[in-house]
Chain A
Amino acid sequence: MTYHAGHYDVIVIGAGHAGVEAGMAAAKMGAKTLMLTLNLDMVAFMPCNPSLGGPAKGIVIREVDALGGVMAKVIDKTYIQMRMLNTGKGPAVQALRAQADKPLYIKEMKHILENQENLTLRQGMVDQLIIEDGVCKGVLTESKTSYTAETVIVTTGTFMRGKVLMGDLEYESGPNNQRVSIKLSEHLEEIGLDLTRFKTGTPPRVNSHTIDYSKTEIQPGDEEPQSFSYETTEYIADQIPCWLTYTNEFTHQIINDNLTLSAMYSGMKRGTGPRYCPSIEDKIVRFNDKPRHQVFLEPEGRDTEEVYVQGLSTSLPESIQYEIVKSVPGLENAEIMRPGYAIEYDAVVPTQLWPTLETKKIPGLFTAGQINGTSGYEEAAAQGIMAGINAAAKIQGKEPVILDRSQAYIGVLIDDLVTKGTREPYRLLTSRAEYRLLLRHDNADLRLTDIGYELGLISDDRYKQFDEKKQLIEEEKKRLRKITIKPNEAVNQVMAEAGATPLKEAIKAYDLMKRPELSYAFVARMIESHPDLPIDVQEQVGIQIKYEGYIKKAKEQVARMLKMEDKKIPENIDYDKISGIATEAKDKLKKVRPLSVGQASRISGVNPADVSILLVYIEQGNVARIAN
């Protein structure tokens, strides 16, 4: 007998980094939302590294925030350390990274979820989806409880048929020995979704008291206050450092001697692991000429002594892990608290999804996060919020929200996934974004706040502030265009200070700012009177003027891309009817079902001739309609 426990607009299965954003976004948009998760004490748990952000990923956190997400706010409240990376480089690649307090992060996130209107948080294992006439209508739990729903979002991370591997030890498990989800995975296969097998790994954790930090280098946080969220006003001054040490030839010897014992190298593991997150075994085999590898020691929180040993991800037997750890300077007497392991899991082949993250096969069913073949908390959060938004939008009869590649890293991520798929767990890199100059850390709010506000995910207060900021930027740019700076002693004094060659002719303040060595602050000093602008406005004005040439070029590229993006492919297109498209391209097009000619052109195996033909075919349809 099943018990029907209610009807919801949106059901989110899982409460990891994707799940919480999905649930929050849907609930905030007014959808009656249920979140079902295996273990309520593990909401938004970080099973791997205790950090958020970094290049590309840090920008994603800001984008999620600009759309009204929660990750930025929770980390801003709980971090133990914050650092701005790439400060010596251009503005497009700067990014924040925070060291997280894992237990506190969970606590804070749970608190937010519990207090969110329209959101029900419940513990439970989903075994099955309720499918009626090919449409997803709800879920069924192991305790025979059924919930009906308009839409369901699956965000089960690495739990599906998870298998932990360490040496020759192998057992079914979710990450960190949590319960594994078996039936749901089988069920997804039964209803016709293609699954693939991926793997990832984690290093051992050691007890901080047993580390000799004097043999390592300190890695402190920034003193300057930083935050991910545009709403954050309070900063944590009391920060905890990380520490750096290195492997050495002894470490490498131990690993080489025991390679055959590694779960991965003994060939047991079938899943594909990521190249950018290799195990220490991998690093030593593939780059055997390197005398040492970095090892970062990262505290897992303020109230725990566990320290994450970044750089020693491994699936070697526990006994060998002891030896490896002891070979590293500073860790000679370190006690392992949890050994490292590899985990293998089922992922959904993401080309089965629309760019809204709804599955093509089963309307009403969405998937988001690591289940879609990505890696990383930030990538998960990004998909979560988009799935939540689109699930709610669908039942509310609103237009779907699809970000394009020039709007956000989120757009790059989802477009890559649904258009190209991925053969290894997908990680965002700045190199994946062709318009990264436009996708900056500093302008995530300018890019996306309007969208968040429109959806009801951004408060009126915040939007008002945002609007003011925008105005200030425009006014200041306008003002600088009008002001002429003449060469005189005072001006050239400032020029000299900035390390610039003296001014010889009068120049507009706007044009002077284009010199790489002159920041906004320097130029401002050459002007007699100027408004007292907030730092972020000054920064924005400086960047927009200084890199105007590059930004313009990028925008031209975008305009060209958008032309192709605007050429929509009719939903009912029959590729078999289009003679001339190569068979391989036809197969790919039928599978991916791109929404626009632009998307079609990014599918590997679809060449320019196929795109031309597709274009002609579509235009032909348009011509035919006009003729009728």
Chain B
Amino acid sequence: MEVEAIGTDTITAISTPAGEGAIAIVRLSGPEAIAMTTELYKGANLLEVESHTINYGKIVDPITTEIADEVMVSVMRAPRTFTREDVVEINCHGGMVAVNRVLEIILSKGARMAEPGEFTKRAFLNGRIDLSQAEAVMDLIRAKTDKAMSMAVKQMDGRLSGLIRRLRQELLETVAHVEVNIDYPEYDDVEEMSHEVMRTKSKEVHKEIEALLEVANQGKILREGLATAIIGRPNVGKSSLMNTLVQENKAIVTEVPGTTRDIIEEYVNVRGVPLRLVDTAGIRDTEDIVEKIGVERSRQVLKESDLILFVLNYNDILTDEDVKLFEAVHGLEYIVIINKTDLEQNLDLSKVNVLAKGKPIVTTSLIEEEGIVELESAIAKTFFSGDIESSDLTYVSNVRHIQLLKQAKSALEDAMEGIELGMPLDMVQIDVTRTWEILGEIIGDTASDGLINQLFSQFCLGK
């Protein structure tokens, strides 16, 4: 990842946690902040309004001319701002989708996605924060960056990262081929790479990136919420919990333990917290092969989750399997749900208390619709209290992905133009390599010796 010098460009980010219905703020800071906003804002001329005023207007997509959102825009001119640079805050009303849309439009105008903690960093470097706070700034960057990095990768759809990995590998093989022709011009066993092959490959990859961007535009990636897995032994009420939260009967509810054999996903919004709910097959040792696959996948889901809803049966004693599950979720973010409180108590609550190690415990009867409000507020609380920091980062990383995909696409277009012009392949390859690097940033793989390694594993070279 490239590290930009400070204060030379204009940065932007969503500066409020996610939550539908709530106001979300997109913040810009830097020399171009006001000019950029003006270009996509319909309302008073922001270049002329007084500093520290709030203005009502609309954000318009300059390409589609569609209105992205109705907004309140605060204009604050340097130096009396948090960062000591020009700052604009756009208060959006239309929920997460709209706010992401606004952010995207701003990025398309040339603003750069702020690194985590970068507003604070600028504030510091511009002398807004005093020296004694430097440590805190550094801690903040540390925490946020690491989180963002891991989130960006983790929260990405598995298929998306898989696809990007494949595209990268294809590009890498092509590039390695060009490179080997350059570095070992006399090796006859390595066929000379042709413009034709390069053209075909570039077009293929370009098409796939375009398709990805289209999906992103439809907002599918944007709507991806906090990955939330519902786990528990068979028959504890996982599917019922999912149904309650989704309020529609999608998963199969039965009295036979082990009915849910595969994974069912739903997107829900719990008190402004976007969740991607995943109902898993009951985790337990089983002989049934079909079910076993489901169990394997459940373990996988667990690994990829941001939040786990761990369901226990009030009516049943605490089994070894339950204890194993407690071990499995150790170190992860989870809420314990003790379900079926309408039935007789067989569960040892004090044991559960010990095992939960301070994590929230909620009791419910899904049949009687009891404890659901408490559960929802527990989810919201975990989310907003910062236990799960991902909130805005989830979205941010997604917008970041889109931005990077766009950059990758344009680098590839440069390569394709070079091919059409008949530029030497070793020149064209510079843009292909750039594409490969940008795609690498999406999945957090920026190791630079990939090419050299590819070269020597793909071809037999040497004296």
Binding site for B on A (CB under 8 A): 48-49, 55-56, 85-86, 89-93, 203, 274-278, 283, 286-287, 290, 292-294, 296, 310-311, 313, 429-432, 437, 516-517, 547, 550, 553-554, 560, 563-564, 567, 578-582, 597, 601-602, 604, 607-609, 611-613, 615-617, 619-620, 623-624, 627
7 closest residue pairs by CB, A with B: A90-B424, A609-B145, A287-B460, A580-B138, A580-B142, A275-B456, A516-B422
User: Taking the nearest CB of chain B, how far is it from the CB of A564, in angstroms?
Assistant: 6
Q: How far is the CA of A49 from the CA of B186 in the complex (A)?
A: 15
A620 neighbours in B (Cβ, 8 Å): 124, 131, 134
Q: How far is the CA of A311 from the CA of B462 in the complex (A)?
A: 7
Evaluate contact between B422 and A90: CB separation under 8 angstroms.
no
User: Taking the nearest CB of chain B, how far is it from the CB of A221, in angstroms?
Assistant: 13
Q: Verify if B181 is at the interface (C-beta below 8 Å from A).
A: yes
User: Taking the nearest CB of chain A, how far is it from the CB of B302, in angstroms?
Assistant: 26
Q: How far is the CA of A468 from the CA of B328 in the complex (A)?
A: 75
B135 neighbours in A (Cβ, 8 Å): 579-580
The answer, among A283, A287, A516, A579, for a CB contact under 8 Å with B423, is A516
A601 neighbours in B (Cβ, 8 Å): 3
Q: Verify if B461 is at the interface (C-beta below 8 Å from A).
A: yes
A609 neighbours in B (Cβ, 8 Å): 141-142, 145-146, 149
B424 neighbours in A (Cβ, 8 Å): 89-91, 93, 516
Most chain A beta carbons < 10 A, residue from B117, B141, B149: B141
Chain B count of residues within 8 A CB distance of the other chain:
52
Most chain B beta carbons < 10 A, residue from A203, A274, A563, A612: A612
Q: How far is the CA of A506 from the CA of B448 in the complex (A)?
A: 46
Q: How far is the CA of A162 from the CA of B204 in the complex (A)?
A: 52
Q: How far is the CA of A283 from the CA of B418 in the complex (A)?
A: 36
User: Taking the nearest CB of chain B, how far is it from the CB of A585, in angstroms?
Assistant: 11
Q: Verify if B451 is at the interface (C-beta below 8 Å from A).
A: yes
A287 neighbours in B (Cβ, 8 Å): 460
B460 neighbours in A (Cβ, 8 Å): 278, 283, 286-287, 290, 293
Q: How far is the CA of A311 from the CA of B463 in the complex (A)?
A: 4
Evaluate contact between A429 and B179: CB separation under 8 angstroms.
yes
User: Taking the nearest CB of chain B, how far is it from the CB of A151, in angstroms?
Assistant: 33
Evaluate contact between A276 and B462: CB separation under 8 angstroms.
yes
Q: How far is the CA of A588 from the CA of B86 in the complex (A)?
A: 38
Residue of B nearest to A598 (CB): B3
B134 neighbours in A (Cβ, 8 Å): 616-617, 620
Evaluate contact between B463 and A313: CB separation under 8 angstroms.
yes
A613 neighbours in B (Cβ, 8 Å): 138, 141-142
1-30 of chain B: CB within 8 A of chain A = 1-6
Given contacts A560-B2, A564-B3, A602-B448, 14 further A-B contacts (CB under 8 A): A89-B181, A89-B424, A293-B460, A294-B186, A431-B455, A516-B422, A554-B430, A560-B4, A578-B138, A580-B141, A609-B142, A612-B3, A616-B134, A617-B138
Residue of B nearest to A274 (CB): B462
| Contact sample, A vs B, 5 pairs, CB 8 Å cutoff | A92-B426, A293-B189, A430-B426, A602-B448, A608-B149
The answer, among B3, B121, B139, B455, for a CB contact under 8 Å with A608, is B3
B421 neighbours in A (Cβ, 8 Å): 516
A624 neighbours in B (Cβ, 8 Å): 131
Q: How far is the CA of A92 from the CA of B91 in the complex (A)?
A: 51
Evaluate contact between B463 and A49: CB separation under 8 angstroms.
yes
Evaluate contact between A431 and B183: CB separation under 8 angstroms.
yes
B139 neighbours in A (Cβ, 8 Å): 579-580
Residue of B nearest to A278 (CB): B462
Q: How far is the CA of A18 from the CA of B351 in the complex (A)?
A: 72
User: Taking the nearest CB of chain B, how far is it from the CB of A241, in angstroms?
Assistant: 14
Q: Mask for B182-223, Cβ within 8 A of A = 1, else 0?
A: 111111110000000000000000000000000000000000
Q: How far is the CA of A579 from the CA of B140 in the complex (A)?
A: 11
B189 neighbours in A (Cβ, 8 Å): 290, 292-294
User: Taking the nearest CB of chain A, how far is it from the CB of B197, in angstroms?
Assistant: 15
Q: Verify if B115 is at the interface (C-beta below 8 Å from A).
A: yes
Q: Verify if B253 is at the interface (C-beta below 8 Å from A).
A: no
Q: How far is the CA of A380 from the CA of B191 in the complex (A)?
A: 31
Q: Are A612 and B141 CB-contacts (below 8 A) given A55-B182, A276-B462, A431-B179?
A: yes
Q: Verify if B425 is at the interface (C-beta below 8 Å from A).
A: yes
Q: How far is the CA of A447 from the CA of B220 in the complex (A)?
A: 50
123-155 of chain B: CB within 8 A of chain A = 124-125, 127, 131, 134-135, 137-139, 141-142, 145-146, 149
Q: Are A276 and B461 CB-contacts (below 8 A) given A89-B182, A609-B146, A619-B6?
A: yes
Evaluate contact between A310 and B185: CB separation under 8 angstroms.
no
Q: Verify if B427 is at the interface (C-beta below 8 Å from A).
A: yes
Q: How far is the CA of A277 from the CA of B183 in the complex (A)?
A: 13
Evaluate contact between B1 and A547: CB separation under 8 angstroms.
no
Evaluate contact between A89 and B3: CB separation under 8 angstroms.
no
Most chain A beta carbons < 10 A, residue from B1, B121, B131, B186: B186
A276 neighbours in B (Cβ, 8 Å): 456, 461-462
Q: How far is the CA of A277 from the CA of B125 in the complex (A)?
A: 49
Q: How far is the CA of A89 from the CA of B188 in the complex (A)?
A: 16
Residue of A nearest to B141 (CB): A612
User: Taking the nearest CB of chain A, how far is it from the CB of B105, in angstroms?
Assistant: 25
Q: Are A437 and B427 CB-contacts (below 8 A) given A283-B462, A609-B149?
A: yes
Evaluate contact between B149 and A55: CB separation under 8 angstroms.
no
312-370 of chain B: CB within 8 A of chain A = none
Q: Verify if B452 is at the interface (C-beta below 8 Å from A).
A: yes
Q: Are A616 and B121 CB-contacts (below 8 A) given A601-B3, A608-B1?
A: yes
Evaluate contact between A550 and B463: CB separation under 8 angstroms.
no
A93 neighbours in B (Cβ, 8 Å): 182, 424, 426
Q: How far is the CA of A92 from the CA of B428 in the complex (A)?
A: 12
A553 neighbours in B (Cβ, 8 Å): 430
Residue of A nearest to B459 (CB): A287
Evaluate contact between A90 and B426: CB separation under 8 angstroms.
yes
Q: Are A55 and B427 CB-contacts (below 8 A) given A286-B460, A431-B452?
A: no
Q: Are A430 and B456 CB-contacts (below 8 A) given A601-B3, A609-B142, A611-B3?
A: no
Evaluate contact between B125 and A608: CB separation under 8 angstroms.
no
Q: Are A615 and B6 CB-contacts (below 8 A) given A311-B463, A609-B142?
A: yes
User: Taking the nearest CB of chain A, how far is it from the CB of B357, in angstroms?
Assistant: 26
Q: How far is the CA of A311 from the CA of B188 in the complex (A)?
A: 13
User: Taking the nearest CB of chain A, how far is it from the CB of B149, in angstroms?
Assistant: 7
User: Taking the nearest CB of chain A, how far is it from the CB of B147, in angstroms?
Assistant: 10
A608 neighbours in B (Cβ, 8 Å): 1, 3, 115, 145, 149
Evaluate contact between B463 and A203: CB separation under 8 angstroms.
yes
User: Taking the nearest CB of chain B, how far is it from the CB of A287, in angstroms?
Assistant: 4
Evaluate contact between A429 and B145: CB separation under 8 angstroms.
no
User: Taking the nearest CB of chain B, how far is it from the CB of A394, in angstroms?
Assistant: 31
User: Taking the nearest CB of chain B, how far is it from the CB of A568, in angstroms?
Assistant: 14
Q: How far is the CA of A538 from the CA of B379 in the complex (A)?
A: 72
User: Taking the nearest CB of chain B, how far is it from the CB of A623, in angstroms?
Assistant: 7
Residue of A nearest to B422 (CB): A516
Evaluate contact between A623 and B181: CB separation under 8 angstroms.
no
Q: Mask for B271-314, Cβ within 8 A of A = 1, else 0?
A: 00000000000000000000000000000000000000000000
Residue of B nearest to A517 (CB): B422
A516 neighbours in B (Cβ, 8 Å): 421-424
Q: Mask for B240-256, Cβ within 8 A of A = 1, else 0?
A: 00000000000000000
Q: How far is the CA of A422 from the CA of B189 in the complex (A)?
A: 28
User: Taking the nearest CB of chain B, how far is it from the CB of A515, in angstroms?
Assistant: 8
Q: How far is the CA of A313 from the CA of B463 in the complex (A)?
A: 7
B187 neighbours in A (Cβ, 8 Å): 294
Evaluate contact between B138 and A579: CB separation under 8 angstroms.
yes
B5 neighbours in A (Cβ, 8 Å): 563-564, 567
Q: Are A89 and B462 CB-contacts (below 8 A) given A564-B3, A612-B141?
A: no
B418 neighbours in A (Cβ, 8 Å): 550
Q: How far is the CA of A619 from the CA of B3 in the complex (A)?
A: 15
User: Taking the nearest CB of chain A, how far is it from the CB of B452, in angstroms?
Assistant: 6
Evaluate contact between B183 and A430: CB separation under 8 angstroms.
yes
User: Taking the nearest CB of chain A, how far is it from the CB of B150, in angstroms?
Assistant: 11
Q: How far is the CA of A560 from the CA of B434 in the complex (A)?
A: 15
The answer, among A86, A517, A604, for a CB contact under 8 Å with B185, is A86
